[in-house]
Structure 1
Amino acid sequence: MAENVTTTPLDNADGDAVSGVEIQLNEVTKRYSGQREPAVDSFTMTVPAGNIVVFVGPSGCGKTTTMRMINRLIEPTSGKITIGGEDALSLDPDQLRRRVGYAIQQAGLFPHFTVTQNIAVVPGLLGWDKKKISDRVEEMMDLVGLDPSVFRDRFPRQLSGGQQQRVGVARALAADPPVLLMDEPFGAVDPITRGNLQDELLRLQEELHKTIVFVTHDFDEAVKLGDRIAVLGNQSKILQYDTPDAILANPADDTVAGFVGAGASLKQLTLLRVHEVEMTQAVTAKTSESVEEMRKRIDARGGRPFGLVLDERGRPLRWVHKRDLASGRRLSEAGRPVGDLVSKQSTLQDALEAMLTEGGGVAVTGGRGEYAGVLEMETVMNKIRELREEHGDGADE
């Protein structure tokens, strides 16, 4: 069902970083005593190394049970599971779980541990020395966009929901496992934070190339994140297992079509990333510069009388109109704060939603939050027209 891939050992003798490995599930079944029907019935799938594979299906269909059998949080009744060619059912369960990252909804952080202590849990269990653990914690916090100097000693109750989820992902990746299991990890946060966390995961995956099995009930999330999607029915029956664009274009049956829903052209926006379309460049200045300098740059550019104020790390901070640039004001106080942002990894669907909130173009950021450009409403609307013409559904929205 999946293309041939080269697999590597689950870890290596030197403890060096490893990339994702292939997962194979063969005739995996889970039966609970007292129930006539199995919760999962003869589930067979290959998860290619370095891919994000998303399990999507209705509540109670068995998708979480199936995922949890991979790291044996739930023991299979029968069948075979291999990770990187190694029989997962022959390993000590605790050792297996230390080698497979696991991130869940609401992060699941230890409430009486600091951020540092939470991230350090698995490296500590693996016997890493203190300096290696400290270095790794700092590296992981930076990787997920949390400033160690600000957050390392905070407790979970002192973090927002989105920050807690970032710590949860950092903890899951701290020991550099080749496989990451994610059980609806972003389901308990607000839509804007959820979109940002999805973007962050895609950015991390671009750097790390892990094998990720991701469970969700949200088909739009599956389309955005998945290299492949497995649409599951009752007992984890695989209704369709394919790339997002193939499922959108050719749903296997009426049940899958129900997940896809109407409006294929707009759903195609979820397959397109911001970095794939043309961005414009705003007039910019950093907070340390003067309002006079910003005014000169806007005048020199001509056209729209707007500019974007950046902080000293180059991150978007405030939108300013020329009329906001009165002498004697500081740029850090001029104009209005930037609201919604999107990253280069964001989908055009995310960008469209941000534009509707912002009331126009939206600022785009790079991997570390630095300013990358501005995406205009006209660009996205032109892309929607192209997609409608391509799919012949101009009247379905």
Structure 2
Amino acid sequence: MTTDVTGVRIELDHVSKVYPGAKQPAVDDVSLDIPAGEIVVFVGPSGCGKTTTMRMINRLSEPTSGRILIGDDDALSIAPTELRRSIGYAIQQAGLFPHMTIRQNVALVPGLLKWDRQRIAARVDELLDLVGLEPGQYADRYPRQLSGGQQQRVGVARALAADPPVLLMDEPFGAVDPITRSTLQDELLRLQDELHKTIVFVTHDFGEAVKLGDRIAVLGQQSAVLQYDTPQNILASPADDTVAGFVGSGASLRQLGLLRVKDVALESRPSVRHDDTVDQARATIAESDCDWAVVLDDRGRPVSWVRASRLRHTGALADAAEHLDVVSTQATLEDALEAILAEQHASAVVTGPGGRYEGVVTLDTLIDTITRLRREAEEPADGDGPS
């Protein structure tokens, strides 16, 4: 996995936006420094100007005044169409063209950049695989033939098609159900671990901001920057009562959202292949200290689970298989706790790159971690204890 940062720094320098005929600016004198290779989340109430602020970066909304630097380039000195082809853009409900196949949607910007056909075809296959959609199964379908979550994955693939250093995301997961939304958030974090783009992400959901952001810009009316800091610092020390109100009473619970499954130790549990015989599955479980096993597909991805007691009364592994909810290594401990509570084996099955099986996170591990965090939070800092 690469650790190279492919994103570039973005600087908003006293940027404002005044719409014709408006008495007040929609965005008033905003300055922000967005580091290369980080996810910066704009969060704030509806109508505060956060989307307008983001859209000025690729000039979908033209700034009235101020300066925007992308890397070393002044965005206002670049032709808008050229600028937009160099910046990925993903929106709510994906914004796919319904009359185009998935392949044609993803290939759109590389085609405009006049890449050759072979290069475009290879890039489309690479990206669909990267976002977890097998090209042979999905490339020639139309958007209406995909679920909402799958469409959003295609939207991200399309935004990444020309390998832009910057990705703008305007509430991209806001229109899907909570479970799919959590999965898409995990996928974005996994992709960012590999790609290290500079991502500006707009949301009204503070929980989403905590989960995704390396830094969060809490914006007030006219995009006034109320606080710009790491999620940890904002949760621990809101800058004022307005920010504290936005953080809400669930701040202590959201501390669980700051740690990821990859930050805790995973335990191994037996696994079997979906095409194993019942006898093979029984033998695998018998050799372990567990009474159940994870069932994997041909690519090592968990698809179900089986318990030993059900294998005694069936002739086929598929007949004993039970539904399995998984979490990725990018999931938060809060996500893992919800998954554990939904299962019957006091653990959550964890997937890594490519959706492959990594192990399990157990309830005992979460309890130990939470206890340790609480103890560390209660310990006085150096020099603060009694003399």
TM-score interval, normalised by the smaller of the two chains: over 0.9
TM-score when normalising by structure 2: 0.94
Shift of 1:115: 0.2
TM-score when normalising by structure 1: 0.91
2:333 to 325, 329, 348: 348
Q: Which position in structure 2 is the counterpart of 1:5? A: none
* Compared CA separation, residues 18 and 202, structure 1 to 2 (3 A): closer
| Residues 38-47 or 325-334, more deviating | 325-334
Q: Which position in structure 2 is the counterpart of 1:387? A: 373
1:309 to 295, 313, 334: 295
Q: Which position in structure 2 is the counterpart of 1:337? A: 323
Matched, 1:228 2:180: no
1:291 to 267, 278, 286: 278
Amino acid at match of 1:277: V
1:336 match: secondary structure: coil
2:315 match: secondary structure: coil
Q: Which position in structure 2 is the counterpart of 1:172? A: 159
Matched, 1:325 2:318: no
| Residues 310-319 or 41-50, more deviating | 310-319
CA distance in 2, matches of 1:310, 1:173: 30
> Unaligned stretches of 5+ in structure 1?
1-16, 393-397
Shift of 1:356: 2.3
Identity of aligned residues (%): 63
Shift of 1:182: 0.2
Q: Which position in structure 2 is the counterpart of 1:362? A: 348
Q: Which position in structure 2 is the counterpart of 1:41? A: 28
Q: Which digits, 9 at most, give the CA deviation of each residue in 1:112-134, with x for residues without a partner?
A: 00000000000000111111111
Q: Which digits, 9 at most, give the CA deviation of each residue in 1:351-388, with x for residues without a partner?
A: 11222222431110011011101111222223233333
Q: Which position in structure 2 is the counterpart of 1:6? A: none
Shift of 1:263: 4.1
CA distance in 1, matches of 2:182, 2:376: 27
> Unaligned stretches of 5+ in structure 2?
379-387
CA distance in 2, matches of 1:391, 1:234: 34
Shift of 1:254: 0.9
Q: Which position in structure 1 is the counterpart of 2:108? A: 121
CA distance in 1, matches of 2:212, 2:144: 29
Q: Which digits, 9 at most, give the CA deviation of each residue in 1:69-115, with x for residues without a partner?
A: 00000001111011011010011101100000000000000000000
CA distance in 2, matches of 1:231, 1:327: 57
Q: Which position in structure 1 is the counterpart of 2:137? A: 150
* Compared CA separation, residues 328 and 377, structure 1 to 2 (3 A): closer
Shift of 1:50: 0.5
Please report the RMSD computed on the Cα atoms of aligned residues, expressed in angstroms.
1.6
Conserved in 1, the CA contact under 8 Å of 2:5 and 2:36? no
* Compared CA separation, residues 176 and 18, structure 1 to 2 (3 A): farther
| Residues 273-282 or 176-185, more deviating | 273-282
CA distance in 1, matches of 2:96, 2:343: 34
Runs (4 or more) in structure 1 with deviation over 6 Å come to none
CA distance in 2, matches of 1:109, 1:358: 36
Shift of 1:18: 8.0
Q: Which position in structure 1 is the counterpart of 2:176? A: 189
| Residues 319-328 or 359-368, more deviating | 319-328
| Residues 307-316 or 86-95, more deviating | 307-316
| Residues 143-152 or 292-301, more deviating | 292-301
Conserved in 2, the CA contact under 8 Å of 1:264 and 1:391? no
CA distance in 1, matches of 2:252, 2:375: 9
CA distance in 1, matches of 2:233, 2:94: 32
Q: Which digits, 9 at most, give the CA deviation of each residue in 1:295-317, with x for residues without a partner?
A: 12222223x31111111211112
Give the number of equivalent residue pairs. Answer: 375
